[in-house]
Structure 1
Amino acid sequence: MELTKPTKKPKTYSLDEAYEASLKYFNGDELAARVWVNKYALKDSFGTLFERTPDDMHRRIAKEIARIENTYPNPMSEDEVFDLIKGFKYIIPQGSPMTGIGNPFQIASLSNCFVIGSDGPSDSYGGIMKTDQEQVQLMKRRGGVGHDLSHIRPKSSPVKNSALTSTGLVPFMERYSNSTREVAQDGRRGALMLSVAIKHPDAESFIDAKMTQGKVTGANVSVRIDDAFMKAVENNTPYVQQYPIDSKDPVVRKEADAQAIWKKIVHNAWKSAEPGILFWDTIIGESLPDCYADLGYRTISTNPCGEIPLCPYDSCRLLAINLFSYVEKPFTKEASFNWDLFKKHVQFAQRIMDDIIDLELEKIDAILKKIEADPEDMSIKGIEHNLWLAIRKKAEEGRRTGIGITAEGDMLAALGLRYGSDEGVDFSVQIHKTLALEAYRGSVFTAKERGAFAIYDAEREKDNPFMQRIKEADPELYYQMTEHGRRNIALLTIAPTGTTSLMSQTSSGIEPVFLPVYKRRRKVNPNDKDVRVDFVDEVGDSWEEYVVFHHRFKEWMEINGHDTSKNYSQEELDKLIELSPYYKATSNDVDYLKKVQMQGAIQKWVDHSISVTINMPNNVSEELVGELYMEAWKAGCKGVTVYRDGSRAGVLISNEEKKKEETVAPGGSIFPTTRPEVLDADIVRFQNNKEKWIAFIGLIDDRPYEIFTGLADDEDGITLPRWLNKGLIIKSRNAEGVSRYDFQYENKRGYKTTIEGLSHKFNPEYWNYAKLISSTLRHGMPIEKVVDLISSLQLDEAINTWKNGVARALKHYVPDGTEATKQKCQNCNSTNLHYQEGCLTCKDCGSSKCG
């Protein structure tokens, strides 16, 4: 009888064990430790942790990549791979690869980005619903999705059904957006990009769709702009829109005012940071995959952040190279860049990326196997099954990769180069040119050993501008490619590296440092154990806030003899920053036009695209935004996004406080000239027509200054702990410049939680009356007079019960002994009434009425 050797049970760790070990790993960086434990540490569906520190994760990844390597000639060993990826120092698999490689508990893709949809005019309801289902199926597997709406017929077009005419694009934008908001993976929502061609007759409606509060909140939106439109804007000439957009015989055709549409794009971007712009002719003209457009590789949209333009059903996996780690003797006069090590590692990174494609194919096979084993009928699961078959075909045939970088800003600072300066831009361009050449060299070397991607054809690519630049820069590489082919259809991108840069403790992607000292918000899952929620935004996402020194700024301080333990004043910090290489090199310092010129110069060496945001101050003009967009087109950028400070609730916010001004209001009370940013607040709960309501009463010197009311303990209202009766009301402004009010409180553990956009939580009719009442309070009307005013309002029955509750809430603030006017005692009919602890009390008979 043969004995079966018992399987060794894997070691597990508690959340506290993993957090404490990771905190030590990240040298006390709480945010990096929590991000890694919550997002990337290997865990099963019950939350059991199988990894204690990132070393365990990197060993898991190295083991799997080495397994694939062993199926090919000249394999790298597990230790060689581990040394390249450990410590987030050199090569960093991003997002889905970091989570999914070697993960037996998750049947999910390793791809970060997908594009789905139709390559051509197909806008039947069946096709639209198919795209909706495909989007959901991908998001549940952790992928970000993009699709284009240019194939949907414009509004009022005739259709052969009971509706008779088409509804146009906008209703379907909302449908796809809502689907995104519905899909959650362990507290994470999906990411969606919706795009449309400017040539589409409904483009203006698309551009305006997100300007309505609460609309299309689950999607990023970008407009595909062609060169003809940009020339029409430049020359102030008409522009022709049509449907289908590529037809020689369109069914809809109209002349449009190009400058008017342009001004709308610029205005909306200025107000809300959207829409983004995709310079479509540049994207298509530079695209190597589009050399194979007739074989199914025609680019139709991008991923949610815009850095990967893709054809239908193609996907991409991302990896970043940490540029800071190639600077030797950083922040000293002897600082230099190790070009030889960088070139060597880029080639290794491209090889690892090709291994990850094989791991992705295994993951897709597991997904297909699960679908096939599902007891549902194929009529139900067929769309999902066919979706993954199509994705598998593209991944295997094209073998697309997405090598990028992080820490560009820190690299330049460490070398003593100012981000955005001529010297800094020249050095960055040299970095990305080298990265492109060495990645393509690595792909050619890999093709020699493993074979070229299935449809490689040098003849198809010979006139492509990107390929021409490679040929000019390195003729030998080009001719080796024509002889051996290359392993991957396209290779390069520059993606945002949010959590990656947190764990590498560097600046993000290609961006400059935001601030050397800053406050940061991180989206969190409120259901996670020990999570701290400091902020709840308008759409219900939870965030955690930190005030921190940028790690590499702190390193500069240490190297240059500055005390990192001192409690500096803001003035001292400002002087310290002036001494550093980060001075005048933060995201708000860099000249906007210089940044898009830098992006355009780097774009020439990136075969996909670049995710970059141009940060601008709140007072920047719309004209400058338009000038920036025009310069981006001329500079050769493939896309650009503008963020004007305050135009959207951001993730990073300044740590400086604004000063308050005060004046004397009528009646002698001290009130601010403008509403202070922060007010103390009381909470009063009351009934309104058998519903539970809540009032937030903003106070100055314990006197009501404003009031907000809304439903309490309701899924569409506001739910607060029953013990809570005080907090803060914080004023800010939304994208339209309209005031917004957030409520913040401290829980019993000392953590602060913020509920954003009180006004958006309330019925608009009640909100309007609340504004009227607040206005009387702010102008110093005595509280008892405000109560009388509220009581005298002639409203319908439903609002009458509400106004009575508001009056009861405010009566608590009427000073004891205040005489009541225009009211009689219900017991003895006396008019000799006064307020006592918020209750009307009769001096003649002693009866009391509280409400």
Structure 2
Amino acid sequence: MPVKAADSALKTYTQEEAFEASVKYFKGDDLAARVWVNKYALKDSAGNIYEKNPNEMHRRIAKEIARIEQRYTNPLSEEEVFNAIKDFKYIVPQGSPMAGIGNPYQIGSLSNCFVIGNKGESDSYGGIMKIDQEQVQLMKRRGGVGHDLSHIRPKGSPVKNSALTSTGIVPFMERYSNSTREVAQDGRRGALMLSVSINHPDSEDFIDAKMEQGKVTGANVSVRMDDAFMKAVQNGEKYTQKYPIFSENPKNTNEIEAGKLWKKIVHNAWKSAEPGILFWDTIINESVPDCYADLGYKTVSTNPCGEIPLCPYDSCRLLAINLFSYVENPFTDKAEFNYELFKKNIIIAQKIMDDIIDLELEKVDAILAKIDADPQTDEVKAVERNLWSNIKHKAEEGRRTGIGITAEGDMLAALGIQYGSQEGNDFSVEIHKMLAIETYRASVYAAKERGAFKIFDSEREKENPFILRLKEADEKLYYDMLEYGRRNIALLTIAPTGTTSLMTQTSSGIEPVFLPVYKRRRKVNPNDKNSRVDFVDEVGDSWEEYVVFHHRFKQWMEINGIATDKNYTQQELNKIVEKSPYYKATSNDVDWLSKVRMQGAVQKWVDHSISVTINLPNDATEDLVGKLYLEAWQAGCKGVTVYRDGSRSGVLISNDEKKEESKDTLTTFPTKRPEVLKADVVRFQNSKDKWIAFIGLIDDKPYEIFTGFADDEDGILIPRWVGEGLIIKNRNQDGTSRYDFQYENKRGYKTTIEGLSHKFNPEFWNYAKLISSTLRHGMPIVKAVDLINSLQLDTESINTWKNGVARALKRYVADGTEATKQKCENCNSTSLIYQEGCLTCKDCGSSKCG
């Protein structure tokens, strides 16, 4: 039976107890311990923690998998499952499965990725708003969401309502982005992918949307490129955009110079790392699920990181195999890959993945039961209920899984093979080919024992390129599949492993190692005779610097008799790195064209897609970015993202002026406050209080802020759907100023909330007035955030205000802006920049939102 809610007799642990036990488990790695306790330890909404270290989490997962296994023949035992997943050594359920399996305290999904969409009615306002609601409903259950905007009619198209013509794609990009930013996911922000076809007449506006500061900051954006466009770019030809896209009888057509739009895509990617590129014809032609497109499996978009192309209302759960753990005698002359153990564990991994689908179906039933029990009317609950019913149907019918890998970089280093070399690329292809063949074999055997996915039809798949490669590689597997079918419609992916790789203590996903060694700092008492002071900061605090080694680099050092507890100089560290298999094999060292070719070759053995980023130095040219994109298309990649170091530091103030905003210049505002300001409504929650901020904007930059409690007798009641409006300066009867907020309701009537300054606690108003004054006199937003964080406020409620306002203003910090007066919690580096409101360390790569 499913795990029941735990009773009060179960042992609980404090945050510190769990942290200390986990630090011991991770052998002193406090970052891994903190991530595990915060993200994956079993806890309830009151903050009670029921697991003190990952062993207990793995036991929880193993019990649930073993329970499902008992439904089928030849079941795995609990011990077999536990031994495969314990210590993050061989098989690692990712994210949502790790947090959600056997969790009685949260009613959530086990899926990491979702795509949503509509049929023909999706171009209506009703269809567009339905997607917005579905997106929010999924994000509150912890899922990342993707959807495509190619169905929305272009700007200026006639419509039969009071607007007369449509607004095009970009306003809806903003709507979906803002909805994402509003949803909290246990400390995570929602994740969204928006895509559009290059064939859409508004695709240029889509490509430019994120180049304006503060716009569409809650979404990743990717362009669906078709082969005809790519060939037009190669040949210097014109290209015809259509609406509906690719229609034989389009309502709109637009002939463009393909090369001109291509240059814009390349420039924007060079400048801001977006848009990403999806080679759509390759995705569709290679897609096994698209063999069933007429049955509802037509791929329309991808999840936020691009590794799972999906049809509407399908979802996928992810699992990673730790490749490093299959290297025996690592970092020695006797190092070799244990192929037999690898094959054995692939079978176990695919069984676990299929069991997780059954567990997901139980979770969806629990979500549907909660929806039915909620007090709202059926009319209010209809969209949410239909959403989860559709998701349940797709999970039952297609049983899609997502087996991937992590530690590719460490695996190659452990074998003495340089990442990015021809030898490295060839070995990676060999491993991924074996993974594909054995995963499909496991799915065929599962079909024999458990039954094939409901709509399996070998005739539909017989011309699919991926299936034909399997046939050529292993004819027995192919003919077994014809006889027994397959348990799952699609099975493979390579996702970014992010925090998972912190716990496996390896490199992430298919990527090379970020850095083999870096320095951290710890604060010391200079009067302590045993302390060493290496650095004194601007406020006089003393710090000791010490070296931190990447875990597997440290293992290489130990095997080769190199001391890991010595305080090396930078020159000594450089010499050590030069002797290691990580030399010239980090993310900034690898030859870019070689990495693109590796991705294309590996992609041939991944039926979904690969999440990979090509890291370029700051001085990389736009021509190089364009060359890499073309090479990726020709190599057979399904998508690619390019990140040039520091590329998010300059964003455009406006698309007309094409001027770069300097991070150091002051914003110039009018000397006299305009009587009417555009305003954003920002909601946030700290502790158990709901807050609201009204941010007055000039040229989309914060000019003033009003803040306080929302939905409270002392605060303001404003509908959840309101995201923007106007702040209007009016006069009271006694001649004093009053600031009112006006918005338009869903019926088109304008509603006014009078006197923002008098709605909130006077103390809040005074602090907000102080911050507004700094903003309107041109203080950079990042400096204003520092000012807010430095305020010495006593009461807990004011501290809550401080955190909330800082978060609200961070929305407007330009990507790439350097943080000040802050240090990385991981390595104590001061090289911190903002990326979509999250502080990201340029030295060690760690990221923190808040």
Q: Tell me the alpha carbon deviations over residues 141-200 of structure 1, each in whole angstroms, 9 at most, x when there is no partner.
A: 000000000000000000000000000000000000000000002221100000000000
| Other-structure match for 2:497 | 497
| Other-structure match for 1:154 | 154
Contact 2:815–2:834 (Cα < 8 Å) also in 1: no
Q: Distance in 1 between matches of 2:771 and 2:497?
A: 43
Contact 2:242–2:252 (Cα < 8 Å) also in 1: yes
**Post-superposition offset of 1:122:** 2.7
Q: Distance in 1 between matches of 2:186 and 2:165?
A: 41
| Other-structure match for 1:462 | 462
Q: Distance in 2 between matches of 1:29 and 1:604?
A: 37
Q: 1:742 corresponds to which letter in structure 2?
A: A
Contact 1:691–1:711 (Cα < 8 Å) also in 2: no
2:820 to 743, 764, 771: 743
**DSSP 3-state at the match of 1:320:** strand
Contact 1:271–1:735 (Cα < 8 Å) also in 2: no
**DSSP 3-state at the match of 1:216:** coil
What are the residue-to-residue correspondences of 1:359-438 with 2, within 5 Å? 359-438=359-438
Q: Distance in 1 between matches of 2:593 and 2:69?
A: 45
Q: Distance in 2 between matches of 1:445 and 1:427?
A: 27
| Other-structure match for 2:239 | 239
| Other-structure match for 1:278 | 278
Q: Distance in 2 between matches of 1:41 and 1:130?
A: 34
**DSSP 3-state at the match of 1:312:** coil
**DSSP 3-state at the match of 1:221:** strand
Q: 1:721 corresponds to which letter in structure 2?
A: L
| Other-structure match for 2:324 | 324
Q: Aligned in 2, Cα 1:746/1:165: closer, same or farther, shift over 3 Å?
A: closer
Bigger shift: residues 596-605 or 509-518: 509-518
Q: Distance in 1 between matches of 2:259 and 2:781?
A: 45
**Post-superposition offset of 1:8:** 8.1
Q: Tell me the alpha carbon deviations over residues 195-234 of structure 1, each in whole angstroms, 9 at most, x when there is no partner.
A: 0000000000000000000100000000000000000000
Q: 1:718 corresponds to which letter in structure 2?
A: I
**Post-superposition offset of 1:623:** 0.0
Q: Tell me the alpha carbon deviations over residues 271-299 of structure 1, each in whole angstroms, 9 at most, x when there is no partner.
A: 01000000000000000000000000000
Q: 2:310 corresponds to which letter in structure 1?
A: L
Q: Distance in 1 between matches of 2:772 and 2:331?
A: 55
| Other-structure match for 2:288 | 288
**Post-superposition offset of 1:720:** 2.6
Quick check: which has more Rg, 1 or 2? 1
**Post-superposition offset of 1:328:** 0.1
| Other-structure match for 1:722 | 792
What are the residue-to-residue correspondences of 1:50-61 with 2, within 5 Å? 50-61=50-61
Q: Distance in 2 between matches of 1:261 and 1:420?
A: 31
Bigger shift: residues 463-472 or 710-719: 710-719
What are the residue-to-residue correspondences of 1:340-351 with 2, within 5 Å? 340-351=340-351
Q: 1:744 corresponds to which letter in structure 2?
A: K
**DSSP 3-state at the match of 2:821:** strand
**Post-superposition offset of 1:647:** 1.2
Q: Distance in 2 between matches of 1:32 and 1:244?
A: 49
Contact 1:148–1:195 (Cα < 8 Å) also in 2: yes
**DSSP 3-state at the match of 2:242:** strand
Q: 1:15 corresponds to which letter in structure 2?
A: Q
Q: 2:427 corresponds to which letter in structure 1?
A: F
**Post-superposition offset of 1:757:** 7.4
Q: Distance in 1 between matches of 2:771 and 2:813?
A: 29
What are the residue-to-residue correspondences of 1:200-239 with 2, within 5 Å? 200-239=200-239
Q: Distance in 1 between matches of 2:815 and 2:174?
A: 24
Q: 1:440 corresponds to which letter in structure 2?
A: Y
Q: Does 1:552 align with 2:552?
A: yes
Q: Aligned in 2, Cα 1:44/1:689: closer, same or farther, shift over 3 Å?
A: closer
Aligned length: 676
Q: 1:691 corresponds to which letter in structure 2?
A: K
Q: Does 1:358 align with 2:358?
A: yes
2:769 to 675, 691, 695: 691
**Post-superposition offset of 1:568:** 1.0
Contact 2:786–2:820 (Cα < 8 Å) also in 1: no
**Post-superposition offset of 1:571:** 1.0
Q: Distance in 1 between matches of 2:591 and 2:783?
A: 48
**DSSP 3-state at the match of 2:122:** coil
What are the residue-to-residue correspondences of 1:434-449 with 2, within 5 Å? 434-449=434-449
Q: Aligned in 2, Cα 1:716/1:59: closer, same or farther, shift over 3 Å?
A: same
**Post-superposition offset of 1:254:** 1.3
Q: Distance in 1 between matches of 2:583 and 2:567?
A: 20
Q: 2:146 corresponds to which letter in structure 1?
A: G
| Other-structure match for 1:809 | none
Q: Distance in 1 between matches of 2:452 and 2:430?
A: 28
Q: Distance in 2 between matches of 1:509 and 1:46?
A: 34
What are the residue-to-residue correspondences of 1:734-773 with 2, within 5 Å? 740=817, 742-744=819-821
Bigger shift: residues 180-189 or 285-294: 180-189
Contact 2:147–2:195 (Cα < 8 Å) also in 1: yes
Contact 1:244–1:250 (Cα < 8 Å) also in 2: yes
**Post-superposition offset of 1:10:** 1.1
**DSSP 3-state at the match of 1:74:** coil
**DSSP 3-state at the match of 2:819:** strand
Q: Distance in 1 between matches of 2:619 and 2:267?
A: 13
Q: Aligned in 2, Cα 1:561/1:429: closer, same or farther, shift over 3 Å?
A: same
**Post-superposition offset of 1:743:** 2.8
Q: Aligned in 2, Cα 1:593/1:690: closer, same or farther, shift over 3 Å?
A: closer
Contact 1:711–1:718 (Cα < 8 Å) also in 2: no
Contact 2:782–2:820 (Cα < 8 Å) also in 1: no
| Other-structure match for 1:36 | 36
Q: Aligned in 2, Cα 1:313/1:487: closer, same or farther, shift over 3 Å?
A: same
Q: Does 1:635 align with 2:635?
A: yes
Q: Aligned in 2, Cα 1:336/1:740: closer, same or farther, shift over 3 Å?
A: closer
Q: Distance in 2 between matches of 1:286 and 1:690?
A: 55
| Other-structure match for 1:822 | none
Contact 1:648–1:735 (Cα < 8 Å) also in 2: no
**DSSP 3-state at the match of 1:231:** helix
What are the residue-to-residue correspondences of 1:96-107 with 2, within 5 Å? 96-107=96-107
**Post-superposition offset of 1:602:** 0.2
**Post-superposition offset of 1:546:** 11
| Other-structure match for 1:487 | 487
List structure 1 segments (4+ residues) > 6 angstroms apart after TM superposition.
Answer: 687-690, 694-697, 710-717, 734-739, 750-758
Q: Aligned in 2, Cα 1:59/1:237: closer, same or farther, shift over 3 Å?
A: same
Contact 2:115–2:312 (Cα < 8 Å) also in 1: yes
Q: Aligned in 2, Cα 1:710/1:473: closer, same or farther, shift over 3 Å?
A: closer
Instruction: List runs of 5+ in structure 1 lacking aligned partners.
Output: 1-5, 522-544, 651-686, 698-706, 725-733, 761-851
| Other-structure match for 1:475 | 475
Q: Tell me the alpha carbon deviations over residues 306-345 of structure 1, each in whole angstroms, 9 at most, x when there is no partner.
A: 0000000000000000000000000000000000000111
Q: Aligned in 2, Cα 1:736/1:282: closer, same or farther, shift over 3 Å?
A: farther
| Other-structure match for 1:189 | 189
Q: Distance in 2 between matches of 1:302 and 1:481?
A: 27
**Post-superposition offset of 1:718:** 3.5
Q: 1:409 corresponds to which letter in structure 2?
A: G
Contact 1:60–1:101 (Cα < 8 Å) also in 2: yes
